[in-house]
Structure formats: C-alpha cells, structure tokens
A and B are shown apart, each in its own frame.
Chain A
C-alpha cells in the first residue's frame, strides 16, 4: 500500500476551491488537501520558505493541482519553477484552468505539466474530469477491502 500523501491545491478563487474540493471528495479522493491562494504561497509551501519556512521539509505533496490564473506569480511561472528545481521537478503537476487556449495548453506541457484539466462550466463534466484525475494520479482512495 502506498503511503497516502497530501495534495496541494493552488487556487485563488474561493468558489472554485470549494467546487474542486467537493469534486475531489465526490471522486473519492481521501488525501489531505492543502490549499494555497496564490503563486507565491505555492512556491513558499513547496520550497519551505516564507510563511511556510517552519513546515516539515519532508512533507511533500503527492500531486499539485495548479490554477494558471493566480495573483502575484502566475500559475505558468510556478509550474516553470517547480520543474526547474531538483527537489520538486518530479512532483506531478495537474494544471486546472478555464482556458481552452491552444497556446496555454501548449505552454503547460512545454513547461513540464503532467496533465491539463480544463475547468468546464458544467459541473458534471468537471466532476468527471477530476474523477479521472484522481484515479490516475493519486491512487489514494483505495476501496477498503
């Protein structure tokens, strides 16, 4: 059995945070989910800096759900830095975004994103997407035998 890790959700929109969390829960994801509000916080958390300097350095999220549209440091920049750093580059990053711009998608994969999930207006579709995501990347919600 794999160790159940944290998930890091980088999302500035409270509504989206709630909906995402709801969707994740609905999808059966049982991992603890840590939420940060902007790019800077995300980087601080990941690199144990700033307000997160005291955090356990070894506690690394098993997956990062990253919104692209973030205050302070954009999601794309965060992604770039994660993938540029030895400590974090192996962390799977799933980009969550409302953008369906080809350019954005292309840039994400170019910067090393592991998956790209478009946030649709239809909640059902979002749920579906998250469900797939959870199954694929977290493998945490093993049905109790």
Chain B
C-alpha cells in the first residue's frame, strides 16, 4: 500500500516534469514569431527551476534531459533533427550543465532548507512572539554579519558569480565563433560569385561565337543579356570583398580586363555583321580578345585562391575558438560543480546547525512556556517585552494585555522604586541576587514572590533588557508554616502514643526520645543519648540486638525484633521494636525512626486467645460439633472433618449447597431448603436451626442438627447475604433417646391419667367424707348436747342431783369440743381444696382488724398491740386472713395469763428478696425441744386446762404458707413468749 503509493507519488513527480517540459515547448513555440532563432532555452530553464523547486532533484534532471532533446529537435537548425551545428552543440552542452546545476541547487538544497524551516517555524514564531527580544538595534554591520551568518546566501552568490562569469566568457567566445562562421559563409559567397562571374563570362563568349558562326540575330539576344549581368556581378563581388584591398585591386583589374574584352567582342560582332563569317574566322585567329580572356581567368583564379586561403585561415580560427569554448565550459562547469557541492555541504551543515538552533530555541521556549515561574522580559526603560504562560497564570494578565506596558503595573505602590534599582543594577551588567518581594496580580491580590533578574543581551553583546524570573512563594511560605505545624503535631503525637519511640541519625546515633520513653525507662536524656541506651538492655540479649541493629544500619533494611527493656521499676518487659529508615529523595538514609511496643499485654492476650481457641476446638471436639461455612460472595465452601463425617463423606469429597441437599433424606429436603431460603432472606435475623436426616453412602440414616446464621452486609436495598456459617451436630443418639423418652412420656401420660383419675375419685370420696363429717358426725353430737341441755334445763334439781348435773355438763363440754374439732378439721381440709388467687394484700390492715375482733370478743383484756403499718404481700386475701387469724389468735390466747401482754406484727430484715413477717408475743412460749411437733395437726404443746385449742391452728397456718410457696418457723422460750416468722413466697 505504502510502497505502491510511494511509487505512484514518484511517477506523479516525474509526470509533472514531463508536463512542464511539454508546456515549455509549447510556450517557446508560441514565442517563435517574437524571438525567432534567439534564446531557444529560456522557457526550459524556467521549467527546470519550477520542477526542481516543487518536485526535487530527480524530476529536475529529467526535465533537463527532455528540454535538451526538445530544444535540439524543435528549435535548433536544422529543425526536426537531433543533429546540430557545432556551435549549437556546444550551447546544448552548456545548457545541460546549467540545467544539472540548477537541478542540484534547487532540488537538493532547497527542500532540506524548506523542511528545516518548516519544522522550526511554529516554535520559532512562538519564541519570537513570546520570548525573543526583537532586534531593535539593526545596523549595517548587523546586516553584514547576518549575511555572513547565512552561508547559503554566500554560496549561492558564489555559484551565481561563477555562472555569470561562465556565461560572459561563453558569450564572448560564442560571438567570436559566430563571426568566424559568418566570415566563412562570406568567403563561400565570394567564391560562388567568382565562379558565377567566370561562368557568365564563358557563357558570353559561347553566345558570341554561336552568333559569329550563324550570324543570326536570335543568338545575339542571350549574349546581350549575359553581358549586362557582368557589371552587376562585379559590383556584388566588390561589395563582398570591400574589406579586402587586394581583392579590390583584383576587381579593378578584372573590370578593366572585362571591359577590354567586351570591346573585343563588340568588334567581332560588328565585323560579322559587316563582313560576314570569314572575317570573323580571321578575326578570331589572331584576336587580342583571346589574351584578355586568359588574363580574366587568371585574375579570377587569383581571387578565388585568395578567398580560399582566407577561408582556410578562418576555419582554423573557428576551430581554435570552439576548442577554447569547450575547455572553458568544462573548467567552468567543474568549478560550478565544485562550488555547488561545497556550498551544499556547508549549507547542509548550516541548516542542521540552524535546525538545532531552532530546536534548542523551541525547547527553550517550551521550557519558558511550560515553567510555572513567570518569566518576564523588560526593556531598559521598564516596558514589558515578553510575557510567558507562567506570568499569565501568576498575574492573571494575558500577554496581549501587558506587552508594551510599564512593568511598574505589577509592583505595589508602596515599593515603586524596586524595579528601578534592579534596572540600574542590571544595566551595570550584573545579575541580581534572588530577592523576595510582593507583587500585585490583575485582580489586586498580593502575591509573595521570589525574583531573579538577569540581563538580556542581543547577538552582538548589547544589553537590551532585563529578564525577571518570578516565582510564587506564597505556597512555600505556607508550606513552611505547615511543616512547622506538622512537626509540632508529630511531637505531640509522638509524646501521646503509648509506644516508646525515638529517632537516630543515619549512623545510629540516637538524638531524640519521646516522653513515654523517659517515663518507662526512668532515664534522663543524658543517660540514653547516642548509644547509651544499651544500659537498659538485658546483657544476655544485647549482643544479638547490637548485631541486628548494626546490620540494619549497614544495609538500610528495616529492623524488627522483640527484646526486653528494663523499666524504671527494674523489670524487663518484652518490646516489639521496629526501626524504619527515613530516606531523602535520592534514597539516602537521613535518619532512623524507631518504636518500641510493650507486648507483654499483647503476649498475654495472644496466650489467652490461643487458649480460647484451644478450648473452642476441644469443646467442638467434645461436643462432636462440626463447622461449616458458605462464603456466598465467592462461592467457597468450608466443611471441617467432623461436618463431613456426619454426612458419611470422605476427606476429599466435594461439598457444596446442592451436594448437601442431595445427601439429606428426601422427606427432610424441602424443610431444609425452605429453612435455608428463609435464613438467606433475612427472616428471624438470618438465624437457621434445622434438624434433619442424612443418608450415608452405605444407606444408613443419621440425624444431624444444623445451626447457623446468615451474615448480611449493607443496609436497605443494598443489604445482601455474604456468608452463611454455623455448626452441625450428630444428634442420632439424642434422637433415639428422644424417641424413647417420647414413648416413656406416652406411657407416663397414660399412667398419670390413670392416677389422676384415681386421685380425682379419692378427692371426691374425701369431699363426700368431709361433707358427711360435717353433717353426720355433728348430728349425733348435737343430739347429745341438745338433750343434755334440755335435761339440765328441765330436770335439774328434780330428777338429776348435783353429781348427775355435773356429769351432764361434762358430756356437753365434750360434745362441744368434738364439734369444734370437726369444724377445724373441715376448715383445714377446705384450705387445700380452695382455689387460690394472689393479689396485693395489705397484711397490716388484716392483722389490725383481726386483733380488733379479738379485743372486742374479750373487752376485759388489756393487750398492747404493735402492728407495723403498710405491709403488703402478694397473697390470697382469704388465706392470708386465716393464717393471721391463727397466729394472732395464738398470740392472743397464750398471752392470756401474762400481766403486760404485748402482741406485735411486722417485718424483719429479709435475707432474700422475699419479706419475712413475724408475729411476736410475750406469752407462755414453749420449749424449742418440741418445735418439730409444732405444726403437726392435733399436736399441742399445752394442756387443754392451761390453754384451750384443737391443735389445728398452726397446721392450718403451715398449710396456708406452703400454698403460697413460703416458709414458717418459730422461736420461743417457755414463759418468755414466742415469735412466728413466715414468708409468703413470690416477690413478697
């Protein structure tokens, strides 16, 4: 493709060359009427120049060749032939040489110059526009210098001079050569004329003789015509040989001879006309005319030889000048070639140097333009001459806005003199030291800048302006502040961290420690500076530390080691020590930064962690727990050995979600899959608990419990499950036990139902019994009692004597006691059957009302009652009342014989959360030896004669307290009263 296009382009270039030559031929042909034979080469030279200019050397050479052929064919004598006269041939050679020279000059030198200029044009323009100071001092000398600095002008001039000299000498030789040729032509003309004269003379004689013989007039006419020609011819010859006196002499002589002969011939004609033929014959025999003719012939021959001699001489001269011309042309062309070759060499070199110059300038311009610094050129009178992009950026002015304006524009009004000083300084040819000052941007903003000014010197060493490199140092100043701040922060941080840290020079000399270091070691800065820290090391470990540390200093590698350091308390603690080299931008270590981290805590933590992990592993092993883990994002699956063994799998067996499902008992698969789906959907916070059967490859069925949880990431819409892991447990044994338990439970349930039935019937019987007791047992008692009363009432004194009456009374008392016993017994049995409803009960109130009842019943008694108010309990109100009635009743009863009776109800310090209540009296009390009988039904510690009672009261109290889930106990001493404590269960 490229090859073909290249060859096409070559073809095109040479085609253009052919077209140019054709056009030149046409133009030359068109100019034929104007120019004639002159300047046949003119359009062709133009064609060669144009082709060379546009298409290069090759096509120019082709054009030269074609032009030569075209000129030879169309415009040189003889036309339509390539043969040319010697002089034309020489001109052709000259043309070829000049054409070739032009081809070389134009075709070779120009394109390289053009391409170089073209390559450099854009940057050069930019340089000129933005940076290069215009040459204001253009002098004649400058022009001359410039000219010599451009060698192609010199070499072209030299070539032109050679061409002109060559052309001049060629022209003179050419002129001479063409003169000789004209002379040669002239000679030929003269010879021709002489020949023609001679033949005319001979013709005249012949005509005369024929007339003399015939005597006829018709033969006389040609004779006359011819004779008249003679003078004309003589005139012509005379004219042609006018420059040759000898020939002129000859012609004079010839004229004389011819005139003499003409006289003789006229005489003969007259004789013939007068005397006839014979006289003529006679006349001819000894005619003087015969001698005249001979003289004429002789004269003509002399003239002819004279001309031939001249011709030969002239031909010789022409040949010599042609030779000179050829020599000149060869030497001239050689000289031209030498000039051109040498010139093109020098020009090439100059061009490449110029190219480098331009490239250098371009790169300098690029640097100037791309630098962040503002680079401003100023004339000596303080006008801005150049303005780079950095300046635009820094000041905000575009080049167009400031070029030509005074640079004072950029200075703040308070320091207007600064530039003047700099200019004065510079004008003495010195560079200024870098100085820092303030400048004003377009928007009025003040900028901290550093300026370096240097003189601008033109090519001939004249100071023409000042260049100021201006750098914005606002950032640097801020950076310095920042650096100070960051150093302060570093110190604060270094002093705040719990680690010990320090810094050392590149050679390991420690020059700084943080506060924590001194705190831990208790050392003073002097004690540990440099290498003195070794005193804080364990002497046994120190050599190893030194070896490593010196190794690090030598190699520049990171130091990382654990070693003990002695604290202020004298105890060595393990420290993880890391030392990092800080390097400058060349990679050289500037200092070392070290930290010592107390890892004794960490060591303990690690140990703890290790133990926890071990415990976990042991627990997992002991609990036969296997772990599993589905990484949902990566699709990775981890099952430990125990997990696999629960599925009857081998170590290497592949496991994934589907494989797991496939191993599950078909009846459980759906449930497991659903449970997993729910967990993955986030139901119940992703918790997953499932028990299922697994069918092992050997066909046996095993139970597995799997517990896990799905971990989610993200919130709301982006919430997604990322991990699903947990444990698996082989629960086959448990399941077996469970099913056994289920069987047992079923049996048990059946038994319980049976027993409950039995119990219920027993309770029914008991109820029936109680009922009949209340009726049937009482009825006979009532009869005995009733009739005894009637007997006493109606028959005392009449039928019954004193003794009988006393017996009757005893009977009645006995039956009454029996009735009370039955009543109490029934009440006791009722307690256990009665429904209980706990509620908040005010015990203080109940106690108070119970005691009021007693007091009302026995108004004569004087008892001091102390009831703590506001005692509440969570209890059944009726039962609570029963208990208090009994306890307070007892207290009331057993203080019956105490002089200053006191009964108290209250709470005492509770050991547990439930409150402990007490009922205390200072009555009869009892012996603690019998305390175990105290709460048994029908057991009494006092004789009935002392204190009445059925022995059911405390049994009732105990039953009530027990029903509430509480406890009741007593403390007493005979004669000193008793205290009954009770709790009521619940939260009191």
Please give the residue numbers on chain A whose beta carbons come within 8 Å of chain B beta carbons, in ascending order: 13, 15-16, 18-19, 22, 69, 97-102, 119-124, 126
Contacts and interface: CB of A to CB of B under 8 A. Distances in A.
Contacts of B848: none
B779 A16 contact: yes
B782 A99 contact: no
A98 B786 contact: no
Interface stretch (B423-431, B564-572, B812-820, B908-916): B812-820
B789 A15 contact: no
B771 to A, nearest CB: 7
A98 B789 contact: no
Contacts of A122: 785, 816, 819
B761 interface: no
B520 interface: no
24 contacts: A15-B779, A15-B783, A16-B783, A18-B787, A19-B782, A19-B783, A19-B790, A22-B786, A98-B774, A98-B775, A98-B779, A98-B782, A99-B774, A101-B774, A101-B830, A120-B782, A121-B778, A121-B815, A121-B820, A122-B816, A122-B819, A123-B782, A123-B789, A126-B786
Given A19-B787, A120-B819, A121-B818, A100 B826 contact: yes
Nearest to B820: A121
B823 interface: yes
B158 interface: no
A123 B786 contact: yes
A119 B823 CA distance: 12
Contacts, number: 64
Given A121-B816, A122-B816, A122-B819, A99 B775 contact: yes
A121 B782 contact: yes
B781 interface: yes
A123 B779 contact: no
Given A13-B779, A15-B787, A98-B774, A121 B826 contact: no
A19 B771 contact: no
Given A19-B786, A19-B790, A121-B781, 6 more contacts: A15-B780, A15-B783, A22-B786, A121-B782, A121-B815, A123-B788
B368 to A, nearest CB: 119
B826 A123 contact: no
Contacts of B771: 99, 101
Nearest to A69: B775
A13 B780 CA distance: 10
Contacts of B786: 15, 18-19, 22, 123, 126
Nearest to B788: A123
Contacts of A119: 778, 782
Interface in B813-844: 815-816, 818-820, 823, 826, 830
A68 to B, nearest CB: 8
Nearest to A15: B783
Interface string B783-807: 1011111100000000000000000
A37 B787 CA distance: 20
B783 A97 contact: no
Contacts of B812: 123
Contacts of A22: 786, 790
A69 B779 CA distance: 11
Interface of B: 771, 774-775, 778-783, 785-790, 812, 815-816, 818-820, 823, 826, 830
Contacts of A13: 779, 783
Interface centre among A19, A100, A102, A122 (most CB of B within 10 A): A122
A69 B782 CA distance: 15
A109 B778 CA distance: 23
Nearest to A19: B786
Q: Which 3 pairs across A and B sit closest by C-beta, in order of nearness?
A: A121-B819, A15-B783, A19-B786
A102 B771 CA distance: 11
B782 A100 contact: no
A15 B782 contact: yes
Contact of B775 (A19, A97, A120, A126): A97
A43 B775 CA distance: 23
Contacts of A126: 782, 786
Contacts of B779: 13, 15-16, 98
Contacts of A100: 774, 823, 826
Contacts of A120: 782, 819
B820 to A, nearest CB: 8
A74 to B, nearest CB: 12
B840 to A, nearest CB: 24
B786 to A, nearest CB: 4
Nearest to A13: B779
B785 A121 contact: yes
A19 B787 CA distance: 7
B765 to A, nearest CB: 16
Interface centre among B778, B786, B818 (most CB of A within 10 A): B786
A15 B790 CA distance: 12
A101 B771 CA distance: 8
A16 B823 CA distance: 19
A56 B61 CA distance: 176
A15 B815 CA distance: 15
A130 to B, nearest CB: 12
A107 B774 CA distance: 17
A16 B340 CA distance: 174
Contacts of A123: 782, 785-786, 788-790, 812
A69 B768 CA distance: 13
A96 to B, nearest CB: 11
Contacts of B819: 120-122
Contact of A124 (B789, B820, B823, B826): B789
B189 to A, nearest CB: 188
A115 B975 CA distance: 47
A138 to B, nearest CB: 21
Contacts of B823: 100
Contacts of B780: 15
Contacts of A102: 830
Given A121-B815, A121-B819, A122-B819, A98 B778 contact: yes
Nearest to A127: B789
A5 to B, nearest CB: 26
Contacts of A124: 789
A103 B774 CA distance: 13
B827 to A, nearest CB: 9
Contacts of A101: 771, 774, 826, 830
Nearest to B783: A15
A101 B781 CA distance: 18
Contacts of B830: 101-102
A120 B775 CA distance: 10
Interface centre among A19, A98, A121 (most CB of B within 10 A): A121
Nearest to B793: A26
Contacts of B781: 121
Interface centre among B782, B818, B819, B823 (most CB of A within 10 A): B782
Nearest to A97: B775
A100 B786 CA distance: 19
A14 to B, nearest CB: 9
Contacts of B815: 121
A120 B774 CA distance: 10
A120 B780 CA distance: 11
Contacts of A99: 771, 774-775
B262 to A, nearest CB: 210
A126 B819 CA distance: 13
A56 B910 CA distance: 74
Contacts of A98: 774-775, 778-779, 782
A101 B778 CA distance: 13
Nearest to A122: B816
Nearest to A68: B775
A84 to B, nearest CB: 25
A93 B816 CA distance: 28
A9 B783 CA distance: 17
A122 B822 CA distance: 13
A101 B768 CA distance: 12
A101 to B, nearest CB: 7
Contacts of A18: 786-787
